[in-house]
Structure 1
């Protein structure tokens, strides 16, 4: 979120900070939204002049350097007004923006912004909409305990652990669990609805991958992946 100073010299600190953040993000998804306190184009000011000011040029150079652009938006064109405090004043400007990186647009191609009517502020509220929603959090690997008593359970686990998978240790664990998941799901429904069973304790696995939450995995002290024992379940 951005709340820029009214002073153009103070805003230069923000432009430099955004340049630093551009380096830190290193191509990741990036959204910058808020009050920039300066227009980007002459037509974004109701009393526009024929040429952009030096303040606008500095803002334009910042946006160009950090490689972001306005999201496709609807609603109010001018996001700030002086007329709330003085009905005789008709000054309107676009000071508030929602700006996104190319990586963000690639991830959420139909995202858009909306600038709502003025309420208690002289600024139009900005709303970022992601129709597809944020990426769903991946669920931990789980199965109901009763299937560990089925004769097919151990062979399924052993077969999954035989697979040769390249990568670091935790990556190999994840891949093997993924191989087991559909097989164990099918096994759980083999004899009918699992919810008819009185006990439905859950046992979970997950690992460090793409932000997935840490939980317990069965690995021996030497770091080798070993088939886990159902006695420990």
Structure 2
């Protein structure tokens, strides 16, 4: 995902991991810098991971339920607040007040995003009792009182789901991005996309402040694919095609072209296959939203 979307900053929420193990996972993302709120036992946890070569991130304040940071890149900057709202109503009462206070301390463009564990209307829910909890009014007040605007989304409607059968399936839009008017003016083309979910009951959200130029595949550097090592004929292929009588740089250049041709024949385009699988997953999850069936739920799991 990081490669596909050229991501500068990642927020991971409700990680349930802490300490050395958490740091190792942050390091494996290979962006270069991170800060986090540790999980409490196996509950909560917020991580912020970013590429210091592309952006500057200065964490201003953090607690159990949000990280607030100043983000800058070149001549633009904004305040980012990543949230993980408490899952229970009585604990969210204090959270709304604390978050509102933090937003009030920010100046300039402000983005607030994450898991709010709350919806604002019945249209953001499918399945369950169909009753809107009074806590939703507190969420609407937070948005209104702080002059925030829901950034909307492209993609499937819901960001969280639970249940393995049509009768038990519940889906909600618990995750979102909110912005103030200054963000809207400065980045009028900013967008949020709900990506297909996998490995979690929450959907990843992709925020783009500025449209990216279309990537020129012809300029992509050659990369060794770990998947090649799983092929039973790979080592024999290397043995047969390595030019032992040439300097290493010339031998590598010659091998590169043969590897690319071999990859097309034996593996095909792995990244294209992954893109197609994610598109199929997204389509299945959209169909579940329209009307869940046992077949659709089984297809999503597959």
TM-score (norm 2): 0.41
The aligned residue for residue 74 of structure 1 is: 154
The answer to whether the 8 A contact 2:113-2:175 is kept is yes
3-state DSSP of counterpart to 1:75: coil
The aligned residue for residue 205 of structure 2 is: 126
1:110 paired residue among 179, 189, 212: 189
Superposed displacement of residue 82, structure 1 = 0.1
The answer to whether the 8 A contact 1:79-1:92 is kept is yes
Bigger CA radius of gyration: 1
Unpaired runs of 5+ residues, structure 2, are 1-81, 213-302
Superposed displacement of residue 31, structure 1 = 0.6
Superposed displacement of residue 124, structure 1 = 0.4
1:4 paired residue among 76, 85, 88: 85
3-state DSSP of counterpart to 1:123: coil
1:97 paired residue among 173, 176, 197: 176
Cα deviation digits, residues 159-215 of structure 1 (max 9, x gap)? xxxxxxxxxxxxxxxxxxxxxxxxxxxxxxxxxxxxxxxxxxxxxxxxxxxxxxxxx
How far, CA to CA, are the matches of 2:93 and 2:169 in structure 1? Answer: 28
Q: How does 1:1-233 map to 2 (within 5 A)?
A: 1-26=82-107, 28-47=108-127, 52-83=132-163, 86-88=164-166, 89-132=168-211
Which stretch shifts more, 88-97 or 41-50? 41-50
Instruction: Return structure 1 stretches of 4+ with deviation > 2 angstroms.
Output: 47-53, 86-89
The answer to whether the 8 A contact 2:128-2:170 is kept is no
TM-score (norm 1): 0.52
- Aligned pair in 2 of structure 1 residues 132, 116: CA closer, same or farther (>3 Å)? closer
Which stretch shifts more, 8-17 or 124-133? 124-133
Q: Which has the higher strand share?
A: 2
How far, CA to CA, are the matches of 1:45 and 1:72 in structure 2? Answer: 15
- Aligned pair in 2 of structure 1 residues 39, 72: CA closer, same or farther (>3 Å)? closer
Cα deviation digits, residues 67-97 of structure 1 (max 9, x gap)? 11211320121100003xx345221101000
Unpaired runs of 5+ residues, structure 1, are 134-233
Larger RCO: 1 or 2 (CA < 8 Å, sep 6+)? 1
3-state DSSP of counterpart to 1:74: coil
